[in-house]
Amino acid sequence: MSKILVIYASDYGSTEKAAQKIAEGARAVEGTEVEVKKALEVTPEDMSAADGIIAGSPTHMGSMHWELKKWIDEVCGGLWMKDALVGKVGAVFGTGGGYGNAGGGCELTMLSLLNNFAELGLILVPLPRNTPGYDKAGLQWGPYARAHTEQGQPVGVKEEQLESFMNHGANVARIAKVAQQHSFFPKP
Ligand SMILES: Cc1cc2nc3c(=O)[nH]c(=O)nc-3n(C[C@H](O)[C@H](O)[C@H](O)COP(=O)(O)O)c2cc1C
């Protein structure tokens, strides 16, 4: 059995909806157990027990939600010092308003989470552009859904935008299942 932990922050429900869809995709992979948690509820034990970690954030002022940064600093920091997560699988997803019609900082948000995951020694999983649903809600870094109209009205994440999230969850679960059985990185 391989375990996927989906971690998110969400004030208005869009990122939570995306997180649940990621979980649905991961759960569909045979032999995979999935847990979905808000960033503030994640413990070091949850992290150590997971084979794959998928974190998602809304874009806030062009960067990640503070709850995710708190989790990175206070939960992941201690594990980083012990190299406790090296060789696990990591991936990200996001939502945003897309202010200015050029992303509004969603790429920086996702890249900064991926940067943290690289620090932790995770095996990073991108979102290939041939993934079904990529055209509606995809970036190479992971699925991203714009939850506002071009006029800036918050309308939430639409059903048609969720396909890439589901496929991302399944991709990560398949990779984590294999990675769990190997030690790709030599121990010092
Ligand atoms: C405090 C705050 C700051 C935001 N800053 C940005 C931003 O810089 N760029 C952007 O594209 N969207 C921004 N948004 C819009 C949110 O990213 C978007 O509504 C997101 O989907 C909300 O996710 P949630 O429903 O999970 O809370 C901001 C929203 C809030 C509440």
**Which of 22, 59, 144 to probe ligand 1 with, by most ligand atoms within 8 A of CB?**
59
Distance from C-alpha of 111 to C-alpha of 73, rounded to nearest angstrom: 16
33 by Cβ neighbours in 10 Å (0-12 / 13-18 / 19+) ranks as middle
- Residue 99 CA: nearest ligand 1 atom is 11
Query: Ligand 1 within 6 A of 152 CB?
Result: no
H-helix segments, 30-133: 44-49, 66-71, 77-81, 106-119
What's 186's DSSP letter? P
Distance from C-alpha of 126 to C-alpha of 143, rounded to nearest angstrom: 9
pTM reported for the whole predicted model: 0.98
Count the neighbouring beta carbons within 10 Å of the beta carbon of residue 35.
15
Pairing label, strands 63-64, 52-60: antiparallel
What distance in angstroms lies between residue 34's CA and the mean position of ligand 1's atoms? 26
Query: Ligand 1 within 6 A of 155 CB?
Result: no
Cβ pair 54, 91 in contact under 8 A: yes
Query: Ligand 1 within 6 A of 150 CB?
Result: no
Closest residue (by CA) to atom 6 of ligand 1? Answer: 60
18's tokens: 């995306």
Q: What is the tens place of the pLDDT at every residue in 101-133?
A: 778 999 999 999 999 999 999 999 999 999 999
What's 162's DSSP letter? S
Give the HSE-up count for residue 5: Cα atoms under 13 Å, Cβ half-sphere.
21
What distance in angstroms lies between residue 175's CA and the mean position of ligand 1's atoms? 30
Pairing label, strands 52-60, 89-96: parallel
What is the full per-residue pLDDT of the chain (188 aa) written as tens digits?
999 999 999 999 999 999 999 999 999 999 999 999 999 999 999 999 999 999 999 999 999 999 999 999 999 999 999 999 999 999 999 999 998 777 899 999 999 999 999 999 999 999 999 999 999 999 999 999 999 998 889 999 999 999 999 999 999 999 999 999 999 998 76
